[in-house]
């Protein structure tokens, strides 16, 4: 089986895959991944990695892999284009293609495999990224802004009295009745307004679907005033199609 790993900013995500089928998706810290590899070492034949970390952190992860497997880890990098077929080519907007974050590129690869048409994709993690692909497969570019948790941390950096509830199920349209709720709802409202504005501006005649992924995707989806679809694990799925299929 193939081990797919997404080394993100805040956590690692991984799963086993074989013949276009994905086993249970997992997430956790390096010790959790270490245990998983140890438990499944006999089944793993290949390892593919997508990482937004620096070389030193990637090396730490590959050492964990090498403790259990005598397999070279294949690290994905963004390229100028991804050829799904002769008539369906996803084209990178960046002049220096490898500078596009691999997580953004793989999310686009995953969606393009499904739709073969244009889309707007938002990855709502520590940072929130938004990318637009038109119906010809041309990536038009994107934005990177602070995500929900990062916005709250930035707001509270010099404000000792602001305490945040860890699992707020608040609404962006509800006025907060505590400082924590006011901050959470305000930040959520800001992100949803931004996404809706970008969607309405870029959607145009092409009727591009809006697809959300990442840890805060569900929270944003519930509040957005425009149609959207939540799809989890886009980076891992894209890693498989990009490197294997």
Walk along the chain (245 residues) and give the pLDDT tens digit of each residue: 999 999 988 889 999 999 889 999 999 999 999 999 999 999 999 999 999 999 999 999 999 999 999 999 999 999 999 999 999 999 999 999 999 999 999 999 999 999 999 999 999 998 999 999 999 999 999 999 999 988 888 877 666 555 555 445 556 677 878 887 888 888 999 999 999 999 999 987 678 999 999 999 999 999 999 999 999 999 999 999 999 97
Q: Is 167 left (phi over 0), alpha (psi -120 to 50) or beta?
A: beta
**pLDDT for position 167:** 46
2-75 and 81-241 in the same fold: yes
Question: Residue 124: beta bridge partners?
Answer: 128
**pLDDT for position 180:** 79
How many Å apart are CA 54 and CA 35, to the nearest integer? 23
**pLDDT for position 171:** 66
Set 6, 34, 103, 123: catalytic member: 103
- Model pTM score: 0.91
**pLDDT for position 161:** 58
Q: At what angle do helices 148-156 and 179-203 cross, to 10 degrees?
A: 130
Q: Catalytic site residue 103?
A: yes
Class of domain 2-75: alpha beta
CATH code at 81-241: 3.30.420.40
CB 68 within 8 A of CB 38: yes
Instruction: Give domain limits for the chain.
Output: 2-75, 81-241
How many Å apart are CA 49 and CA 6, to the nearest integer? 6
């Amino acid at each position: 089986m193939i081990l797919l790993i997404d080394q993100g900013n805040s956590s690692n995500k991984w799963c086993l895959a074989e013949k276009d089928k994905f086993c249970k998706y997992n997430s956790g810290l390096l010790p959790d991944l270490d245990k998983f590899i140890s438990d499944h070492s006999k089944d793993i034949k290949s390892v593919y990695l997508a990482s937004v970390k620096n070389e030193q952190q990637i090396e730490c992860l590959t050492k964990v892999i090498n403790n259990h497997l005598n397999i070279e880890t294949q690290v994905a990098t963004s390229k100028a284009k991804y050829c799904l077929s002769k008539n369906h080519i996803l084209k990178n907007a960046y002049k220096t293609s490898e500078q596009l974050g691999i997580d953004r590129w793989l999310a686009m690869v995953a969606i393009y495999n499904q739709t073969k048409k244009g889309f707007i994709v938002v990855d709502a993690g520590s940072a929130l990224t938004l990318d637009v692909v038109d119906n010809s497969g041309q990536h038009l570019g994107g934005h990177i802004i602070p995500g929900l948790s990062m916005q709250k941390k930035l707001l509270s950096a010099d404000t000792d009295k602001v305490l945040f509830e860890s699992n707020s199920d608040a609404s962006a349209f509800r006025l907060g009745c505590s400082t924590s709720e006011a901050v959470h709802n305000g930040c959520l409202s800001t992100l949803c307004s931004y996404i809706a504005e970008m969607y309405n501006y870029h959607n145009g005649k092409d009727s591009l679907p809006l697809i959300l992924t990442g840890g805060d995707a569900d929270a944003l989806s519930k509040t957005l005033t425009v149609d959207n679809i939540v799809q989890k694990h886009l980076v891992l799925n894209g890693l498989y199609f990009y490197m294997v299929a």
